[in-house]
Amino acid sequence: MRILTIAKEIQQQILEEKKNGKSIGYVPTMGFLHEGHASLLKKARKENDIVVLTIFVNPLQFGPNEDFDSYPRDIEHDEKVAQSALIDYLFYPSIEEMYPDEVSVKVTVQHRTDVLCGRKRPGHFDGVATVLTKFFNIINPDKVYFGMKDAQQVAVVDGLITDFNFDIEIMPVETVREEDGLAKSSRNVYLLEEERACAHELYKGLNLAREAALHGEDNPEKLVSLISNHIMNYTNGKIDYIEVYSYPELKPLEKVSGNVIIALAVQFTTARLIDNVTFLVHNDTN
């Protein structure tokens, strides 16, 4: 595994790999890698000749009330995870390398951001889209891998790739879960013991709604109520949102059909958990 910190250096390395006919898989992260990231790296390793991992805590996607300086960092741990996943290149640039001067051009995301978590983080996805545009141009990957845990981010990146004509295939990867179904997250360690014991009920509620939709329930409000009642009955978490949209467009649905996402966020004492399910509901043509 080669560790590089200069954009022009990794650009040159990838150019040589491509000249030799190698396919490039890319996993963008902000570091502090966990099992979810490892699953992305594993899939990228399986499907590509060369795998590139980037670790960069991007200041552009932090809002004024979000502490960029306190974001967890552990590069030694991250290097070990990358080595275990047999990564070819780890690109770990400084802020000065990525933004040597004041940014003169930024990407503005027009759609898919005013719902779910994006509603409370104005400008966040502009920062994500801007840094990914830079990384896509630096690395020039054939495939890029994202976890469906953050399905809204996947939807935004899907739009970025399509609208800017990047010759890149986006590869969504299923959420990694604990044995009881709870989506794995670094935030889970902040759950109180009794909260952790019932946190899997979030995913159970999502699955109840998915099954109802697949068996003919097409009213989004009824699906939301089904999940809401389940969470209120079986957890002490405070519901932030439960929403149903088309996917990846993230448009409201009068009736549940086509590609659908049901997503939620629930606040526990010191941890806010998010989760979602995406699925296809076949239209009834009879």
Output the known binding site for (R)-pantoate: 61, 153
Distances 63 to 248, 254, 264 between C-alpha atoms, Å: 24, 33, 21
Of 37, 124, 200, 230, catalytic: 37
CA distance 168 to 174: 19
Residues contributing to the annotated binding site for ATP = 30-37, 147-150, 176, 184-187
DSSP-derived secondary structure letter, 119: G
Is residue 111 flagged as an active site residue? Answer: no
Distance from C-alpha of 123 to C-alpha of 104, rounded to nearest angstrom: 16
Q: Annotated binding residues, as ranges?
A: 30-37, 61, 147-150, 153, 176, 184-187
Which active-site residues does the annotation give? 37
